[in-house]
Structure 1
Amino acid sequence: DLVLALTAEELQVWASAEGLKGVTVLMLKLRLQGICGLSRFRQRILARSAVLHDVIHVQAPGELQLARLPFAEASKTEIAALLLACHEEDFDLVDEILHRPQNPDLSNDRGLTALVAATEVGNADIATLLLEANADKNLVDSFGATALSVACEGRFTQVANVLIEARADVNKAKLQGEAPLLTACRNGVQAIVEMLLRARANLNQVNDNGESPLYHAAKQGQWGCARILLEAGAQADLCSSNGKHSGGTPLFIASSIGSLQIVDLLLRFRADTEKATDAGSTPLGVAFDINRLDVVKLLLGAGAGKKMSRPASIVLDFAARARPKDRLLCAAARVGDLE
């Protein structure tokens, strides 16, 4: 399908006043890709009906023609071959298959595409090559995961950067409603969290259980990710809406695992110390339950327990269960002397 003819004069203008010296067919294809929307893999440059290879330097005078190729038919075996080449990180073979030209978005029975396959092994070079072939950045596998979600799960920072730079949808959630930012926070990948926020990912996007990225950062003890989110303006008191700790806030979940650093961080960002779960458990109460005196002291110092109907009895109960050397601290906590 002939779509464009370039005269020698037009080529000279395109190549600048210095002429065509040093301009290869590949360089011309890349320039035309932005003009006609065809990836270089589907372009053929012809001179006098002969196909010019990418490494050939463009010569003037003469006329060049651009032919557009449709995607070649691909069998299941050929689709599998591209996926395998991506998994085995065989860059040259991937390039060869794309030049058939084979559609990079064809998937196997599990919905696996070449871009997701390349992402699964963390190969940024092959991911870049596939994007150059106009691979769809937002296609999902059978789990509803995009390549970006897979990069966040695998902690592949370079691939995530390639996808974000290519404007992948940073808020597209997989099954159970988990968006890339939540995945990155759960896995503690601070670099990816920062990339996603620069790309305007939704700070407070929750999963199907109503759990936010901050909630999962707190749940996994990921202090660095929690700090980044809070400094970016994440809501400190978003409650989960389902599951074991339904109604729990990030402060509650951090208290429940005894994460002193994250509790301290959340308190510095004015997290609500009194917000209870649907079952009525508070951050202070759960800290008592797991015998974390350090967390108890921190919460009491921030004013927790003021709304409790019987705070003294709870402290005394805790003191009875505490080690002998900790009883003095519990008694001091009861009267508010935390120094």
Structure 2
Amino acid sequence: MPKHTESVRRLAAAALVAVSLGSGLVHADSYEDSLSAARRGDTQQLVQLLNRGLDPDTVDAQGNTLLMLAARDGNAQTVEALLKYRPKVSRRNPAGDSALMLAVLKGETAVVDLLLDAGAQVNHDGWTPLMYAAFEGRLELVERLLARSADVQALAPNQSNSLMLAARNGHIEVVRRLLKTGISLDQKNDAGFTAESWALENGNTDIAALLRAERGRRPALPAGGAPGTQ
């Protein structure tokens, strides 16, 4: 790029920053204020900043958006207000977590409902909201996600399905619910465990017996067949 063109570009960028700061749209401390407001659930302060031009998809140093921070901490009113500014509701942080996943992980039912109604993505690669709900034994959230067509056959990066995660952690009511979907009993994860063997490995003998009984009830699948989904 010619030197004079680069100089003009830099001057224009500097002028734009100066105008922005001079107009009071965004102060230098607005960034930290916005993150703090999202975490604390200070809806009024966050809305003021958004109305002054703050990007609703502002992220912290770990790549968590304002929506993720508010959702993770169960700040339903703040989440509801943020959604009016059309943030990227299904955006995921570098760890692969979305606002919905973080809300499910923490059991924040009211926030989960807001995000689902806003169109938050339920099915995607990697860990999913249903896997988190199963892992934590959150039956109510499992029901909500199944009602939104959560994919019960989806696999985590370690090749576990939601049934395996619930079985491992001893969540028998979640196991019972997932069995009604026709979820695979034979899936093995990268350590070689099935839902039944993982339950036994962790001392969840009641779940292992339930899975064994379910296996006996299910008709044999034809070659190339696949179980149902809900």
The TM-score bracket by the shorter chain reads 0.7 to 0.9
The residue number in structure 1 matching 2:141 is 225
- The 5 A counterparts of 1:13-32 are none
Matched, 1:102 2:21: no
In structure 2, how many angstroms separate the alpha carbons of the residues matched to 1:216 and 1:105? 38
Among residues 132, 135, 143, which one is paired with 2:54 in the alignment? 135
Superimposed CA distance per residue, residues 171-197 of structure 1 (whole angstroms, 9 cap, x where no aligned partner): 111121211111111111111111111
Q: How does 1:1-339 map to 2 (within 5 A)?
A: 70-73=19-22, 101-104=23-26, 106=28, 112-206=31-125, 210-241=126-157, 246-303=158-215
- Offset, 1:297: 2.8
Q: Distance in 2 between matches of 1:103 and 1:134?
A: 6
Q: Deviations over 1:40-99 (max 9, x none)?
A: xxxxxxxxxxxxxxxxxxxxxxxxxxxxxx4445xxxxxxxxxxxxxxxxxxxxxxxxxx
Flag as ranges the 4+ runs of structure 1 deviating above 6 A.
none
Q: Deviation per CA, 1:295-335, whole angstroms, max 9, x where unpaired?
A: 123212322698xxxxxxxxxxxxxxxxxxxxxxxxxxxxx
Distance 2:178 2:93 in 1: 28
Determine the C-alpha separation between the residues in 1 that align with 2:91 and 2:181.
Answer: 28
In structure 1, the partner of 2:12 is: none
Q: Distance in 1 between matches of 2:26 and 2:167?
A: 47
Compute the RMSD of aligned alpha carbons.
2.3
Q: Deviations over 1:112-161 (max 9, x none)?
A: 44322211211111122222222210021211111001011111111111
Rounded Cα–Cα distance in structure 1 between residues aligned with 2:35 and 2:124: 23
Higher relative contact order (Cα pairs below 8 Å, separated by 6+ residues) = 2
2:8 maps to none
> What TM-score does the superposition give when structure 1 sets the normalisation length?
0.55
Q: Give 5+ residue unaligned stretches, structure 2.
A: 1-18, 219-230
Higher-helix-fraction structure:
2
Name the CA distance, whole Å, in 1 between partners of 2:108 and 2:74: 6
TM-score, normalised to structure 2's length?
0.80
Task: Work out the CA distance in 2 between the residues paired with 1:105 and 1:214.
Answer: 40
Q: How many residues align?
A: 202
Whole-angstrom distance in 1 between the partners of 2:56 and 2:27:
9
* Residue identity opposite 2:173 in structure 1: Q
State the SS of the aligned residue for 1:175. coil
Q: Look up the equivalent residue of 2:57 and give its one-letter code.
A: N
Superposed displacement of residue 170, structure 1: 0.5
Conservation of the 8 A alpha-carbon contact between 2:96 and 2:127 = no
* Secondary structure, aligned partner of 1:140: coil
AA in 1 matched with 2:70: A
Aligned-partner Cα distance in 1 for 2:29–2:153: 41
| In structure 2, C-alpha distance between the alignment counterparts of 1:105 and 1:269, rounded to whole Å | 52
Q: Which amino acid aligns with 2:60?
A: D
Identity of aligned residues (%): 25
Structure richer in strand, relative to its length: 1
Report the secondary structure of 1:176's partner residue.
Answer: coil
- Give the number of the structure whose alpha-carbon radius of gyration is greater: 1
Contact 1:205/1:213 (8 A) holds in 2: no
Determine if contact 2:70/2:76 at 8 Å carries over to the other structure. yes
Q: Which runs of 5+ in 1 are unaligned?
A: 1-69, 74-100, 307-339
